[in-house]
Amino acid sequence: MTRRRSGGARDAGAVPYLFLAPAMVLFTLFMAVPIVYTAYLSLRRTKVSGLGLGKNSRTEIFVGLDNYSAAITDGELWAGWLRVLGYGLLVLAVMLGLALLFALLLDSAHVRLARFSRIAVFLPYAVPGVAASLLWGFLYLPSLSPIRQVLDIDLLGTGAVTFSMANVAVWGGVGFNMLVLYTNLRAVPRTYYEAARIDGAGEIQIALRIKIPIMMPAIILTTVFSIIATIQVFTEPTTLRPLTNTISSTWSPLMKVYRDAFVTGDLYSAAATSIVIAAISLVLSFGFLRVVRNRAFGEG
């Protein structure tokens, strides 16, 4: 009996790994292997001999950290980071602010048509990013834009193109973040609010003193995801670029990676730049989490 039970326990212990196996295989094939191969490419470069026309005139050589040095000292890359920084500050402030506002309004006891309002706010998130960028792009065109006719503003001009791209991101991202925050609010016991109302608290006081503090973990989560998504901005500028001359091929860091890899054919430089972008993304995300944790728990 003891042997049978021990054998059954071993079989039962293997069951979770069997369920995890498909996910681990997919992660290895489509995440881990590409990352390792990218790191491998980032350490190499093509060496051209002679005129580069012979069979063995192009060889792949190991160059160590030379590609990383070139990426870090590339002025175009840091100019792209500055543009993305301004774009990101605008998107994060407006998108998360609106998401929090809509979540609080939809959770209010006096809201009407709550189900329709949730769908209306969330619906833009269901539109693919390319389709949303094209939709807004045609609204931005000077010859078609009703906004241009009313306000006399070139929405694809040098001074407004960043705001135009930020508008596309905000329009598509508010619904998802609102849903995350609203779901977190719905899990809070209603007795908290009833007790606050008995003590004389109004809806604004309940929102500021009860709802927002309870939502803080969800707010931090959506902020981290939004930071990562903003750093990886690619769809909006790439889709709008054919409509204007104010968006360069290296407007964002990822656009520079795309240009290096698929336009100029320098896969090795693109690999090193992508690793640098990933490292900066990790630093910013974990740096934000550390700052929030230190302020919340008073850790030094």
CA pair distance 288, 294, nearest whole angstrom: 10
For 171-195, the pLDDT digits (tens) are 999 999 999 999 999 888 888 888 8
pLDDT of residue 116: 85
How many CA atoms are closer than 13 Å to the CA of 281, on its beta-carbon side?
A: 19
In the chain, CATH 1.10.3720.10 covers 74-297
Mean pLDDT of 86-110: 91
Provide the percentage of residues in the chain whose pLDDT is more than 90. 55
pLDDT of residue 246: 92
pLDDT of residue 189: 85
Residue 112 clears pLDDT 90, i.e. is over it = no
For 270-290, the pLDDT digits (tens) are 999 999 999 999 998 888 888
Residue 142 clears pLDDT 50, i.e. is over it = yes
CA pair distance 163, 88, nearest whole angstrom: 11
The CB-based long-range contact list for 120-124 (8 Å cut-off, 24+ gap) reads 121/174, 121/175, 121/178, 122/175, 122/176, 122/178, 122/179, 123/175, 124/171, 124/172, 124/174, 124/175
pLDDT of residue 300: 43
Name the E strands within the chain: 44-48, 58-62
Mean pLDDT of 196-212: 87
Q: Which residues does residue 60 pair with via DSSP β-bridges, in sequence order?
A: 46
On whether the CB atoms of residues 125 and 172 are closer than 8 A, the answer is: yes
The number of residues making up the chain comes to 300
Mean pLDDT of 188-204: 85
pLDDT of residue 109: 66
* Entry pTM: 0.84
CA pair distance 218, 51, nearest whole angstrom: 59
Across 14-18, 98-102, 163-167, 296-300, least confident range: 296-300
pLDDT of residue 176: 94
Phi, psi at residue 49, to the nearest 5°?
-110, 140
Angle of CA points 287, 213, 217, to nearest 5°: 40
On whether the CB atoms of residues 165 and 87 are closer than 8 A, the answer is: yes
DSSP 247: S
Query: Which of 236, 68, 91, 81 is CA-nearest to residue 156?
Result: 236
The confidence band for 22, taking pLDDT boundaries of 50, 70 and 90, is very high
Superfamily for domain range 74-297? MetI-like (1.10.3720.10)
Higher pLDDT, 57 or 14: 14
Residue 6 clears pLDDT 60, i.e. is over it = no
For 241-261, the pLDDT digits (tens) are 999 999 999 999 999 999 999
Q: Could you give the C-alpha distances from 92 to 172, 255, 278, 286, in angstroms and in order?
A: 13, 20, 19, 17
Residue 160 clears pLDDT 80, i.e. is over it = yes
All residues at 6 or more sequence positions from 178 whose CB lies less than 8 Å from its CB, including other chains: 98, 99, 100, 102, 103, 106, 118, 121, 122
pLDDT of residue 144: 80
All residues at 6 or more sequence positions from 292 whose CB lies less than 8 Å from its CB, including other chains: 220
CA pair distance 287, 79, nearest whole angstrom: 22
Mean of all residue pLDDT scores within the chain:
87
CA pair distance 106, 113, nearest whole angstrom: 9
All residues at 6 or more sequence positions from 47 whose CB lies less than 8 Å from its CB, including other chains: 58, 59, 60, 61
CA pair distance 300, 293, nearest whole angstrom: 10
pLDDT of residue 169: 95
